[in-house]
């Protein structure tokens, strides 16, 4: 394989593999979900409702039943306020990391991709009580792709990534097509990778927003909100030119208040989430290469939300994205590739400021 073809394959995989997890929250589509649904019994034959994956939802190891101990009741039975509090100019810093493990048809690792960076978030003004507009800015971003299953990724800074940013207001935000100019990376595919990482970082806020809207800033341990499968796919726009780069259709989703914990020395709410059977499609074409991918995504994760002021403290997700990928180079017809999918692992966590 020539050095040129290696670079082509590297950027192709980078652009594809980050796609799905940044869309985990679905943005405004989460609003209006029904909370506190009882777990339904198994159906006696027949057909599952459209979009439902499992015959019976997962039985979670927490519920809404009050504890009998008075000492613990004050901690576990109380209503928890997730209202975002702060002041203009308040700045927080986050580290972001995504690792994608590409696997063969029998599940053995083939290679891996890593994307990582640092994000600065600054509160600008309180647009509505408890709802703030922020400025989000990448201060660094890098990525790497290995050739073998056991190779350690050697990340390299992506030129032009520093300073790329956008304004964020959770109630009026496109969580799929991030409103930023990623063309500064100088490359359609590298810009698309950074766009997907931005989806990843803001997706946790959309989940926190779904809880606030479902439970009116008075969440309790054991409450669960369920979101039906999207009725249709959402278009993913290209970065440096007009046109469609892919499509995404969010599958059946559940978000649950799991408990309380601590992170960075402050009390936090533990939020658990699950998404099943999301449709993912992408097609990229140029003079050098044609790539087509279609797959189905599954993931679960947890996040910590501050009980002091409602900001996202940390989050992670993990899950498989099996796919069929076809690639053709130099005008050749696309051929199916041996990579059968990716297991994705995404982490976001608050760190001390610079």
Note whether 326 and 336 are within 8 A (CB).
yes
Distance CA 168, CA 140 (A): 19
Nearest to 99, CA basis, from 162, 138, 144, 161: 144
Cα separations (Å) of 88 from 84, 91, 135, 163?
A: 12, 9, 11, 20
What is the reported pLDDT for 216? 83
What is the reported pLDDT for 58? 87
Q: Where would I find the H helices in 22-98?
A: 70-76
Q: Tell the burial category of 292 from Cβ atoms under 10 Å away from its Cβ (0-12, 13-18, 19+).
A: middle
> Which portions of the chain are predicted below pLDDT 70?
1-45, 240-241, 243, 286
The structural domains of the chain, ordered by start, are: 3-34+50-351 (2.30.230)
What is the reported pLDDT for 23? 34
Give the DSSP per-residue string, 185-202.
GSSHHHHHHHHHHHHHHH
Q: What is the DSSP letter of 32?
A: T
| Residue 334, both tokens | 């696309």
Distance CA 138, CA 231 (A): 33
Who contacts 46 (Cβ-Cβ below 8 Å, separation ≥6)? none
Q: What is the pLDDT of residues 12-58, one digit of tens each?
A: 333 333 443 333 333 333 333 333 444 455 555 678 887 788 888 88
Note whether 18 and 200 are within 8 A (CB).
yes
pTM: 0.83
Residue carrying the six token digits 């969440």: 219
Q: What is the DSSP letter of 219?
A: B
What is the reported pLDDT for 112? 93
What is the reported pLDDT for 38? 43
Who contacts 342 (Cβ-Cβ below 8 Å, separation ≥6)? 17, 100, 101, 102, 103, 320, 321, 323
| Residue 148, both tokens | 């073998």
Q: What is the pLDDT of residues 165-188, one digit of tens each?
A: 999 999 999 888 889 988 888 777
Distance CA 235, CA 296 (A): 16
- Give helix 188-215 / helix 3-17 axis angle, nearest 10°: 10
Who contacts 212 (Cβ-Cβ below 8 Å, separation ≥6)? 82, 83, 130, 219, 310
| Residue 262, both tokens | 């601590």
What is the reported pLDDT for 28? 34
């Amino acid at each position: 394989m020539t050095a040129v073809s290696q670079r082509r394959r590297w950027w192709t995989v980078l652009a594809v593999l980050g796609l799905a997890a940044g869309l985990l929250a679905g943005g405004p589509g989460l609003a209006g979900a029904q909370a506190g649904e009882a777990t339904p019994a198994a159906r006696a034959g027949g057909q599952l409702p459209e979009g439902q994956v499992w015959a019976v939802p997962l039985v979670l190891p927490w519920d809404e039943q009050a504890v009998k101990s008075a000492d613990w009741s004050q901690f576990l039975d109380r209503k928890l306020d997730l209202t975002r509090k702060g002041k203009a100019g308040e700045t927080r810093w986050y580290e972001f990391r995504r690792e994608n493990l590409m696997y063969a048809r029998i599940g053995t690792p083939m290679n891996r991709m890593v994307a990582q960076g640092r994000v600065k978030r600054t509160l600008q003004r309180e647009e509505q009580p408890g709802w703030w507009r922020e400025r989000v800015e990448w201060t660094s971003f890098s990525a790497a792709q290995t050739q073998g299953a056991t190779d350690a990724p050697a990340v390299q800074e992506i030129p032009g990534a520093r300073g790329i940013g956008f304004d964020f207001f959770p109630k009026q935000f496109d969580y799929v097509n991030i409103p930023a100019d990623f063309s500064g990376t100088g490359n359609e595919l590298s810009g698309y990778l950074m766009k997907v990482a931005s989806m990843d970082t803001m997706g946790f806020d959309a989940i926190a927003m779904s809880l606030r809207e479902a439970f009116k800033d008075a969440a309790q341990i054991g409450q669960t909100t369920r979101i039906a499968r999207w009725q249709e796919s959402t278009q993913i726009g290209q970065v440096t030119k007009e046109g469609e780069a892919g499509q995404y259709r969010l599958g059946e989703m559940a978000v649950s208040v799991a408990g309380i914990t601590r992170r960075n020395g402050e009390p936090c709410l533990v939020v658990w989430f699950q998404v099943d059977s999301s449709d993912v499609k992408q097609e990229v074409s140029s003079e050098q290469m044609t790539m087509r991918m279609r797959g189905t995504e599954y993931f679960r994760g947890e996040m910590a939300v501050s009980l002091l002021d409602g900001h996202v403290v940390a989050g992670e997700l993990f899950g498989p994205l099996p796919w069929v990928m076809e690639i053709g180079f130099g005008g050749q017809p696309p051929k199916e590739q041996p990579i059968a999918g990716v297991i994705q692992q995404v982490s976001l966590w608050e760190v001390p400021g610079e």
